[in-house]
Structure 1
Amino acid sequence: MAAFETVWRSIEAHAGQVFHTKRGIPFSYAVRYGQVHLDNTNRILPRTDFVKAHGLMPLSGPGELPGLQGPSYIFGILTDRRIGGPDPAPVNDHVPPRVGSGRRYRGMSRDDSDEAYVIGLCDEVLGETGLPQHRFDWLLGDPGANGKRAKLPVDAYWPGHELVVEYRELQHDQPMPHFDKPDKLTVSGVHRGEQRARYDRRRETEIPPRGLRLVVIRPADLDADSRGRLRRTRTSDLEVVRGLLARSSDEDRVLDAFRRWLTTEGWTPATPTEPWTGIEAERGGERLIIEAKGRTEEQGTGADVAYGRLLRRMTDQSPATRYALVLPTASVRHAARVPAHVRCLLRVDLYEVTDDNRVLLRPAAPG
C-alpha cells in the first residue's frame, strides 16, 4: 500500500468518480476541508478515519474497521486500485447476504443493509444519487405529548426524477412481534406495527399529490429467501428494479402532472369516498372526484371508458362536489363530443394535459 499522503492525494484527485462498496453499491464523493463528503448520504468521513484505516491495511472487509465513520465507504475507496489499493476482487453476480436482512442487527450498519443495496441499484438505474432517509417538511408523524410532529423519513428521494422509493421489508406487510412490540405503545397510541402501517398509508396518500412518484419495492420483487433476506443476485435484481422504476404508461404521466397542478391550485388529497375511486381532492368546501386516462390506441374508446367510470362514481348529489375527466391532448377532442351543457349538468370538468405536462381546464360551460 502506498504512503498515506500519496493515497490522500489520489482520493482528492478522483473525487466525483463512481466507487463501489464491497457489496457493489455505487457512490461518489467530494473532498472539502480535509473531509470526504458522500453524495448519497449526509455522512462526512474525516481524514483521520482514513489515516486509521490505512494503518490497518490490508483488510478483508469493512467489518474490520470498527469505530470509524462509514467503514463500507472507506474500505471501498482505499481498496480501489485508482487510490493505490490492490486490484479489487471482482464483484460477483451473487453476493451472499449478511446474517439478518435489510434490517440492521448488532454489528450491521445501514450502509450494509438490504435497503442500502436496493437504493444503490436505483441509483445505478436512474443515473442519479438519491438522498437516503430524506425528510419533507410536509410529511409528518402523529403529534407527541408536547404536540410536536416529527418529519417522517422516506427511504430515498431522487429530486431530478421527482421520485421516492420505499423498500418495505416483511414487517410492513405481516405481523412480526419482534418489530411490532405489541406491548409498547407509541406516540400514536398504538403499537409500532400499527403505527408503521399508518405511516405507510400516509406516505401513499401524501407523496403523489405533491407531484412525486412513489415506487414501493418489496423483497418478493427481488431474489430473496423465505425470511425476506435478499440474496443480492445483482444482475437479475438490477433488471427488476429497472422495470419497477420505469413509467408503466402514459396514464402515469397524466396523473403525475395533474397531481402537481392540484397542489399548486390549493387542493389537498382526500380519502376516496368510494372504493373504486382512484383520486379525490378537497379545497375549502369543494370536493373533486377524478378519472384520468393516458394515450390509448383508440382515443375515442378510451374517452368513452373514462366517462363511464366517472358516471359510476356520481353518488354525491351535493353541488360542492365536482367531477374531473383528465386526458392527454390527443384524447380531448373525443371527450368534447359530449355536449358542454350535458357536462355542465353532470358537474364534469374536462382537463387537458399537454405533451409538456401543462394542465389546461376546459370548463363544462362558460363562466
Structure 2
Amino acid sequence: MPITSVTKDPEALTMTVIADFAAPLQRLWDAYADPRQIEQFWGPPTYPAKFTRHDMVAGGRTDYVMTGPNGEKSPGHWDFLRVDAPHSFEVQDGFSNEDGTNNTDMPSMRMTFEFEATDGGSRLTTVTHFGSADQLEQLLAMGMEEGMTQAMGQIDDVLADLASFAAGGGTNADILSDTQVRVSRIIRGSKEQVWEAHNNAELMQQWLLGPDGWIMPVCQIAQNVGDTYRYEWEPEGGGEGAFGFDGELLESNAPHRSVTTEHMIDTDYPSTLNEMTLTTIEGGTLLSLVITYPSAEVRDMVLATGMTDGMETSYARLESVVTGS
C-alpha cells in the first residue's frame, strides 16, 4: 500500500494524503497525465473509471465516468487551475450529470497534487480543500477517504507495467462507451511538432495516407474555429476508390487540443466528433483521439474495417516526418 499517511484538519478544512512509490518522479507523473493509465486506478476496484477527456493544461478539463458493480454510473470532472509538469497540478474536482455538465447540486472541492523525487523513488502529496465543515463531513460520510485509499492502492501495479504504456507500442483503440472509442499512439517528438504536422498541409500530405499506394491531392486545413476543412485521397497513378472527408473545426487550443466534426464526402452518413489531445510524456507525445459515433452499430462497423491498422500506418509516417527519420 503506497499511502503512508492520511491527515484530516477540520479547522483548515483539508484532508492530506501522502503516498510513496518506488518509481521515478517522471513515471509517477505520466501515470496521472496519461488517460490510459489514470483510469486504471482513479476509481476504486469495484468502481473502475473511463476517461473520455483528459486535457492536462491550465484551463483544460477532465471528464470521467466510474461504473459500479451493478452498472450504476458516477460521472465526475476536473477543471485544471494550474499545471507545472512534472511537479504539481491543481484542479477543481466535482460531480457531473449524465450529459457531462457540472452537477451543481453536489459539492465540489479544490485538490492539489504535489510530486517530488525521493531517495527511494517519488512521493505524491494530495491535499483536498473543502468549502465548509458540512461539506467535509458529507464527503467523508460518502466514503471519500476509503475510496481514495482503495484507488491509490492500485497505482503500484500501473507503475510496474512499463510495456503497455511505453513508446513503440503502436496504435491502440479502447472502447470507452457505446458510442466512443479512444485511439492512442505515442509519437516520438515534441507536442509542438506533432501539432504542426496536423496543421501544415505540406506535412500532412506526407503522412495522412493510410495504406501504401495512396496520395492526398486535396488538403484544405481549417485554421480557425468555425472554419471547414476538406481532405481527399486517391490511388497513386489514378483509378477507382477515391474518397474524402470534410468537417468543421469546433475547438482549438494549440498545441494541446482540437475538436472537429468529420463527415464522408458525398454520403448521407452522420458525422463523428473527433477530439484530439496531445500530452507530453516520457518518450515523446501521447496522441489521444476520442471519436464519438452516432451509435454502437456504426462504431463496431468502423472498427471492423481495420481502422486501427490503417491509423498505425499513418502515425508511423507521422513519427518519421516529425523525427526526420
Question: TM-score under structure 1 normalisation?
Answer: 0.23
Larger radius of gyration: 1
The answer to which structure has the higher strand fraction is: 2
